[in-house]
Amino acid sequence: MNARVMDAAPQPEAAPPSLRNRARAFSTRHRSITVIVGMALATVLMPVIVLLPPFNSFSSQGVWIDGFTIAGIYVLLALGLNIVVGLSGLLDLGYAAFFAIGSYAFAFAASPFTGIDIPFWPMLLVGAVVAAVFGILLGAPTLRLRGDYLAIVTLGFGEIVPIVFLNSSTYTEGPNGIGGISPPSIGDFTFPSVGNPWPFYLTMIGLITITMILVYRLQDSRLGRAWMAIREDELAAAANGVNTVTTKLLAFALGASTAGLAGVFASSKLTLVSPNLFRFDVSFTVLAMVVLGGMGNIWGVAIGAFLVFLIQTVILKQLNIFFGNVNVPILSDVDFLQYQFLLYGVALVAMMLIRPEGLFPSRRRRRELHVEEDQDFAEHGDAMGAAPE
Amino acid sequence: MTQTMVPMPPAADAGGPAMLSLAGVHAYYGHIHALQGIDLEVRAGEIVTLLGTNGAGKTTTLKTISGLLHPRSGNVLLEGHDVSHVASHKLVQRGVAHAPEGRRIFSRLTVLENLQMGGYTRTSAEVREDTVHVFDLFPRLKERASQRGGTLSGGEQQMLAIGRALMTRPRVLLLDEPSLGLSPILVQQIFRIIQEINSRGMTILLVEQNALQALAIARRGYVLQTGRVVLSGTSAELSRNEMVRRAYLGED
């Protein structure tokens, strides 16, 4: 197979014609189609699955779909943070700040509080741009810092933003937050906030699909390559002609814009924003989702976020109900929801020990962490489409 | 220690026009005055070597040329144009390639990906073409194209670092201690390849601790001491110089 590598022309690897390999080769070559098909399947299957036992005993289909929509907000956040942490290797501990900025952007643009009513759809873009601008404002002075120092500065930024919204009560209603935010509408049809969960659900699916396609495109582009090089060795990247400052700023800006998008959607869905929705636990939860899902793997991160959210909102609550009913001593008195962060911590430690590459690792990450699988890699090409596929 | 200043050889017998020249370059790391007025010149098609002990400023000189560090005063001229404050990624496009000290290959990327990263500023057609050239020069890399950079031996990693620098299609190649940590036989092999690259017309500025080998392939050399050029001349002159013989060639 080496002879083929020499040509340096990316040629399809003559893989054994198993269905799995063929599917993998297809999905690598046609990522956008794969994303659309995958998301379409999820869109249809999830509402059907929740009609089956045991899920139907937890709650009605409508409540489930509403939950999926909220989970989608976290999926978007995780996809955005994955650009910063997973692809570029910049540890951002204050990511919720950009989520807050996007949310407040829409709250200012479409609520009785300001008396303005700009429609939802253009504001999606505006919210993303506003968050990206703040990403650049934060990044420009701080991206010279490396590793731990960057993490500390972003942590500070993540704390400052909600506090600013909290304290400037003249402009933000302070701790009460801004309510009555307009839902999206198409023509005369306004999305209902209760009753029919489908419009928000389908909008969220659309947003995730578009975001995933864009992130895949970015990852496979020159910019994606530059991010990877910076993650590996910043000085060497610079010596190869990568403008490290601009490249890192773009990672920050694009990551932030995804959070801005999620923020606009969230405030429109919840019809309310308040500073306590954007505290450190949000940044931390999203980071945990990225790490658990598999840093750098776009599908992995999306599925990781979805699962973590479901575990946190559904499974823990069900455990409470379950143990409350069966009357087991001690366990029936435990409020599992309160142990959410303890469980995250335990899960993260366990993952780092057992499966540091995440539940759904990118092939590259797995290679980084398991040397013995090199040979397997050499035979199958890599996830970036650079080596022989 | 007596220091003899060997006069610069006349330009006529030393190759083409100046590719690179440093005039009174002072550079600092914070408060540390690392380069204290460096003057040197590399002409087109030459191999020039920078010799000196640890901390003499050899690596700093290369960093200042490739824009990883900017001089506080003095000028770096690339083909007559002042590039003292041009960012490193722009200098790559203008033909300065730096194979940094300690190789710094992307250890988690494959050999092929490392080379492609070297061609970051270029079109994919050019990259494909040059990958073939690099594999011609380093058949070992060809054998290991799909292997992770980090799993290569030291010598292979050095080949990869040089190959990656060549992928930028440079006009001048800065090599920082290519013999670092290599066995004597590999050192010879690497130096043969450097000569080979030079014979194809590449201008090379070579930083080395291994003075004997470096002087064997270089046309001229400079000896640095605590941030200053203390000696310069042709390789033959430097090899005869008593101070060089004592300090760098291990003679009594």
Output the pLDDT for position A18: 77
Query: Angle at Cα B204 formed by Cα B201 and Cα B206, nearest 5°?
Result: 155
Model confidence pLDDT, tens digit, residues A243-293? 999 999 999 999 999 999 999 999 999 999 999 899 888 998 899 889 888
- Name the least confident of A127-131, A185-189, A362-366, B14-18: A362-366
- Residues whose CB falls within 8 Å of the CB of residue A1, separated by 6 or more in sequence, listed in order: A13, A378, A379, A388, B146
Shortest Cα distance, chain B CAs vs residue A242, angstroms: 5
Nearest CA in chain A to B136: A6
Q: Does residue B13 carry a pLDDT above 60?
A: no
Q: Which of A4, A232, A234 to mutate to test the interface with B (most CBs of B within 10 A)?
A: A232
A243 vs B contacts (CB less than 8 Å)? 87, 89
Nearest CA in chain A to B131: A8
Euclidean distance between CA atoms B66 and B62, whole angstroms: 6
Nearest CA in chain A to B92: A241
Q: Which of B23, B88, B41 is nearest to A237 (CA)?
A: B88
Mean pLDDT of B7-19: 59
Q: Which of B64, B68, B113, B160 to mutate to test the interface with A (most CBs of A within 10 A)?
A: B113
CB pairs under 8 A between A and B: 102
Model confidence pLDDT, tens digit, residues B29-64? 999 999 999 999 999 999 999 998 888 999 999 999
Output the pLDDT for position A12: 46
B112 to A226: CB separation less than 8 angstroms, yes or no: no
Output the pLDDT for position A126: 95
B146 to A242: CB separation less than 8 angstroms, yes or no: no
Q: Which of A241, A302, A288 is nearest to B97 (CA)?
A: A241
Euclidean distance between CA atoms A298 and A260, whole angstroms: 19
Q: Does residue B11 carry a pLDDT above 60?
A: no
Mean pLDDT of A38-64: 85
A384/B contact by beta carbon, under 8 A: yes
Helices (H), B94-208: 111-118, 124-137, 139-143, 154-166, 184-199
Model confidence pLDDT, tens digit, residues B88-101? 999 999 999 999 98
Output the pLDDT for position B6: 46
- Residues whose CB falls within 8 Å of the CB of residue B75, separated by 6 or more in sequence, listed in order: B22, B23, B24, B25, B82, B84
DSSP 3-state assignment of B149? helix
Q: Does residue A131 carry a pLDDT above 50?
A: yes
A3/B contact by beta carbon, under 8 A: no
Tell me the domains of chain B and their CATH numbers.
Answer: 1-6+16-96+195-202+224-236 (3.40.50.300), 104-170 (no CATH)
Structure-block tokens of residue B56: 């003499």
Euclidean distance between CA atoms B148 and B55, whole angstroms: 32
- Omega before B71 within 30 of 0, i.e. cis: no
Tell me the domains of chain A and their CATH numbers.
Answer: 32-380 (1.10.3470)
A6 to B135: CB separation less than 8 angstroms, yes or no: yes
User: For residues A376 and B237, which has the higher predicted lDDT (pLDDT)?
Assistant: B237
Structure-block tokens of residue B184: 């004597």
A241 to B148: CB separation less than 8 angstroms, yes or no: no
Q: Does residue A359 carry a pLDDT above 80?
A: no
Residue owning tokens 């198993």: A18
A238/B contact by beta carbon, under 8 A: yes
Euclidean distance between CA atoms A287 and A81, whole angstroms: 7
Model confidence pLDDT, tens digit, residues A201-219? 999 999 999 999 999 999 9
DSSP 3-state assignment of B28? strand
Output the pLDDT for position A246: 93
Mean pLDDT of A105-127: 90
